[in-house]
Amino acid sequence: GENVEQHPSTLSVQEGDSAVIKCTYSDSASNYFPWYKQELGKRPQLIIDIRSNVGEKKDQRIAVTLNKTAKHFSLHITETQPEDSAVYFCAASNYQLIWGAGTKLIIKP
């Protein structure tokens, strides 16, 4: 079955700097890769997703890249702001979502 690994588990960056979170997956049949942001006590919120026929996708300060050959995908947040502080999860799917363990992103003022 699918296995998703996510690194780092905690990431602390200065406000205004960029943050990068990386994930690897094992099942080459996975074709959909969403990223969710979860604030404490709240539901996961989709922030960006990418499908296997695309290598990169960008939405304002957030971008995701996918390398199908290496089976890894990354989330990039530029110009980080205090409200970006949260736990970020990657996931891989061909129908059920298999989640990474999460990255706690801390933005230092």
Partner 1 sequence: GAGVSQTPSNKVTEKGKYVELRCDPISGHTALYWYRQSLGQGPEFLIYFQGTGAADDSGLPNDRFFAVRPEGSVSTLKIQRTERGDSAVYLCASSLAGAGDTQYFGPGTRLTVL
Residues at the site binding partner 1, with contacts judged by CB under 8 A:
31-32, 34, 36, 42-46, 49, 51, 89, 91, 93-102
Torsion of CA 6, 101, 88, 19, to 10 degrees: -30
From its phi and psi, is residue 98 left (phi > 0), alpha (psi between -120 and 50) or beta?
beta
Q: How far is the CB of 21 from partner 1 (least distance, A)?
A: 13
Q: How far is the CB of 81 from partner 1 (least distance, A)?
A: 23
Residue among 60 and 109 whose Cβ is closer to partner 1: 60
Q: How far is the CB of 107 from partner 1 (least distance, A)?
A: 20
Residue among 43 and 109 whose Cβ is closer to partner 1: 43
**Cα 93 to chain center, whole Å?**
13
- Side chain identity at 70, as an amino acid letter? A
Residue among 16 and 55 whose Cβ is closer to partner 1: 55
From its phi and psi, is residue 81 left (phi > 0), alpha (psi between -120 and 50) or beta?
beta
Q: How far is the CB of 16 from partner 1 (least distance, A)?
A: 28
Q: Name the pairing type of β-strands 10-14 and 103-108.
A: parallel
